[in-house]
Amino acid sequence: MKQTQINRLEMAQATDNHLNLHTAIWNTIPVFGETKNRLAQLISEIKETAKDQNEAQVFIGSSQREIKKTIADKMDIIDDAIQSYAEDTENAELLSRSSNTASDYFKLPNEDFETKVLAMIQLSEDTLPAMQEYGATQEEIEDVKILANNFLEKRQKPRAFQIASKVATLSLDDQFKEITQILKRLDRLMKRFKSSHPTFYIGYNSSRLVVDK
């Protein structure tokens, strides 16, 4: 992978990380979630392509601990939706299984964390058709699946989920062309937050800067 590509990939990763830290702001907007998830997926695909071609020159990506923290935060949001549904329908068993905080997830040993997250992803998918009126979305679940795969890879374990890929056979150049288009679309979608969430908006623009090395 060329240095210019590495620089652009690090920028894309920084952008994705910034969006992960502010999920609560955008997660109710389906088109934003879909576009953001495609960004995360492309980052993963580009790294895999570079790895397959033996071109990866630097380690790119969040640490295992950072990914774990992001997953914990996102699972907390999903669990809140499950809890709301469970309480409204008086489903005591579902309520008991979904009464987890981000801290509850994060403090688990990694092996237990994996087991818990994978089980709750399955539970959220099983109950999603009934939970959509309570704020749960497929985009949220897909986002966590991508992160869970990344966490497992950090621990040198096989991926748990097969994420549909539109560019699995594309070259690095083609993948970078698509990631550029995805980022441009996010730039347009971010305009809606310029006044309502200025700190989030400014932080996003800062993350979009490419640092030449």
**Which one-letter amino acid corresponds to residue 207?**
S
Contact 20, 69 (CB under 8 A): no
State the DSSP H helix or E strand holding residue 50, giving kind and residue range, or none if neither.
Answer: helix 30-52
Neighbour tally for 136: CB within 10 Å: 25
* Tokens standing for residue 71: 């997953």
Q: Where are the domains of the chain?
A: 3-207
pLDDT band at 11 (very low <50, low <70, confident <90, very high): very high
| Residue 196: predicted pLDDT | 94
pLDDT band at 60 (very low <50, low <70, confident <90, very high): very low
| Residue 163: predicted pLDDT | 59
pLDDT band at 166 (very low <50, low <70, confident <90, very high): very low
- Residue 85 scores a pLDDT above 70: yes
pLDDT band at 174 (very low <50, low <70, confident <90, very high): confident
**What is the rounded average pLDDT of the residues 125-140?**
85
| Residue 211: predicted pLDDT | 67
Q: Which of 12-21, 53-62, 109-118 has the lowest mean pLDDT?
A: 53-62
**Which one-letter amino acid corresponds to residue 116?**
K
Q: What pLDDT digit, counting tens, does each position of 89-118 carry?
A: 999 999 999 999 999 999 999 999 999 999
**Which one-letter amino acid corresponds to residue 59?**
F
- Determine the Cα–Cα distance for residues 22 and 2; give it in Å rounded to an integer: 31
- Determine the Cα–Cα distance for residues 172 and 25; give it in Å rounded to an integer: 32
- Determine the Cα–Cα distance for residues 39 and 31; give it in Å rounded to an integer: 13
- Residue 169 scores a pLDDT above 60: no
**Higher-scoring residue by pLDDT: 14, 160:** 14
pTM for the full model?
Answer: 0.57
Q: Which of 11-15, 136-140, 161-165 has the lowest mean pLDDT?
A: 161-165
